[in-house]
Amino acid sequence: MRKVIRIKNLDCANCAAELSDELNAIDGVENAAADVINQRVTLDFDGEHALKKAVYVITHFEKVEIVEGDAPAKRDLHWKETISIAAAVLFFVPALVLLLLGMGKWVRFALFLAAALAAGWDVLFTVGANFVKMFKGGFRLSMLFDENLLMTVAAIGAFAIGESMEGAAVMILYQIGELLQSIAVGSSRGAIASLMRLKSDVAIKLTEEGQIEIPPEELLIGDLILLRRGDRVPADCKIVEGETEFDTKSLTGEAYLRAAREGDEILSGCVNEGGAVKAKVVRPVSESAVAKILELVENSSAKKAKPEKFITRFARVYTPVVVLCALLIAVLPPLWQNYNFTTWILRALNFLVISCPCALIISVPLTYFSGVGTLARCGVLAKGAVGLDVLAKVKIAAFDKTGTLTEGRFRVAKTEGGARTLALAAAAEKNSSHPLAEAFVGIEAPEAKSCEEIAGMGISAVVEGKHVFVGNMRLMEKFSVPFEAVETSNLVVYVAEEGLPVGTIEIEDGLRENTGKVLSDLKEAGVEKLAVLTGDTRERAEKALSGLPIDEICSQLLPEEKSARAEALKAEGVLLYVGDGINDTPVMAVADVSAAMGGLGSDAAIEASDFVLVDDSLSALPKAVKGAKKTRRIVFENIVGSIAIKLALMGLSLFGLIPLWAAVFGDVGVMLLAVLNSMRMRRKL
């Protein structure tokens, strides 16, 4: 069983890793992940007993509390931390004045000690609690080793060797750093939480009795709703009366208004900027575009990229190793330098403080999370950091043609064979899930029985007691129907009855308006090869895609052949596949990373993909690639930069070139630099 538990007061990424470890140690908990950004714990467990134990661990972990219901926790104003720091400064300043004047040795010691306790009381409390946890459920030394222990040892050590000002400064600067980190995390959390504004609070339903206001969750498929100027669309719907324009930037990131008239589908979250229109609900709120956005973005941080997993494992080993190294630095060198322990203990404390891994632990997931949020504002939903990491390395992009590069809105352009041809085709296609069937909606047709889809070819059915074939030329050849191929750039549907030709139907499906620019932008973003995988004939595919910067067209492919061709493309480099239909899901599974069209795309394709293009617009795809590359670049900047600066500071501390307070300032500074660097992801792509 899986359960998502909303929490609050978990603002430290290292603490989240510790909480995850504690939960995973519980019998019956198969997988647990504490999420510092979304303030939630995801649990996979096998019984109520395990769940109760997990709830106990969560509620007894530092200051963490469980938030009841689905409402997000209130914004944290950090009053407690601010008051603690202010009180510490009030003690610290007069003590520093006395130190500079060389007066009141014991008075300033007492003031520095009061400052350290005012700033670090919760740090000391946490270390004590961790010491108790270390012996619960078996001896686990890892429960003790965290940044709280590093700061406590550093502060106590400083007081012990007579450096009381250093000891107080350690706690004050550390708490200032923790406060700034918490504010930074809260800012990113707020950026994603702002997506909640996509949800409408009320819907105006039209009934025979008149207009009634109801919660959007109560809307059903087929309900008529009124969309006035300024109203946010409460559920995915189709315009049935009137014309207007919609602001779609909350979904797609595009600033221009989108015109809509009768028959056009509008996704929830858009805002009506024109006149009032009537619309019919086509999907319930739980399956709407907004619901998909909120669910995918909230769950995105559960899928961690390799750098995130590396940092988590690194921190678990790194902290104990650093403590051991600091101990050796404090003990071994004095044995060869006239037992000068005071100097080397101070240097060991510097080393210990600088080594705190907070900068790495918070900045890496924060960067990925900011990347997911930035892509969401551009109209691309990432299902996790894993997809971002792979998308950044894409060298080959392959596309389905129909409904992806083309509009996927089919209509009958020409018929040969009269009304009987249309009627038979409509009868057979009525039971088909293929996008082509949309062209025959509304055409009067007899009932079809024994319908069977023949993959990649068409449909076999019995209409009015006669065996009918409706499909492409390969279907006719398979059953030896004597048709002559029609030469046209349109899709051609051949209709046969009792093994004899009846007629042909040409179906129009034009290219999306910005397809050429999108493909050019992808190449500019670093994609080296563009390919199209289609079941269409080569002649029609080439005519339909002429003028586009496509390197390879793979035509007349059956679904299983598409997967085989995708495997071959993968051998040339990291493969991105973009599609929209059920028949695309096997190819998406084969590709390294995939994207689905979110509006017209099937639920199966959306489920199988790593990214969802919310508004069926390919224009967001190049932004997604650029965003993924930028995210990965910032992640590695933070990893390499943080480690390099820390190693340099550690080296300086060993030679006694920096005091303890400067070591803390350096550690806090590295963390803030990494966090600020990760915030670059929130800029417009």
CA distances from 2 to 29, 300, 352 (A): 10, 16, 39
400 is catalytic: yes
Q: How far apart are the C-alpha atoms of 474 and 456, rounded to whole Å? A: 9
Which residues, other chains included, contact 421 with Cβ-Cβ below 8 Å and sequence gap of 6+?
415, 495, 502, 503, 504, 505
State the burial class of residue 148 (Cβ atoms within 10 Å of its Cβ: 0-12, 13-18, 19+): buried
Residue of 247, 389, 400, 610 marked catalytic: 400
Residue among 345, 368, 354 nearest 633 (CA)? 368
Which one-letter amino acid corresponds to residue 524?
A: E
| Three-state secondary structure call for residue 388 | helix
Please count the other Cβ atoms lying within 10 Å of the Cβ belonging to residue 427: 25
CB 358 within 8 A of CB 181: yes
Q: Return the closest-CA partner of residue 426 out of 403, 472, 467, 459.
A: 459
Picking from 322, 358, 364, 360, the residue whose alpha carbon sits closest to that of residue 175 is 358
Whole-number Å distance between alpha carbons of 148 and 290: 40
Return the ∠ at Cα 289 (arms to 287 and 293), rounded to 5°.
105
DSSP character string of 542-574: HHHTTTS--SEEE-S--HHHHHHHHHHHHTTS-
Ordered strands of the 29-35 beta sheet? 29-35, 40-45, 2-8, 65-66
Question: How far apart are alpha carbons 336 and 332 in whole angstroms?
Answer: 8
CA end-to-end span of the chain, whole Å?
Answer: 39
Cα–Cα distance between 431 and 450 in angstroms, integer? 10
The token pair that represents 10 in the structure block = 């978990």
Residue 48 C-beta-side C-alpha neighbours within 13 Å: 0
- Edge-first strand order for the sheet with 271-272 is 257-260, 244-247, 271-272
Task: Give the separation between CA 534 and CA 587, rounded to whole angstroms.
Answer: 12
Burial 437-476 (b: 16+ CB within 10 A, else e): bbbbeeeebeebeebebbebbbbbbbbeeeebbbbbbbbb
Residue 671's closest CA among 364, 372, 312?
364
Active site residues: 400
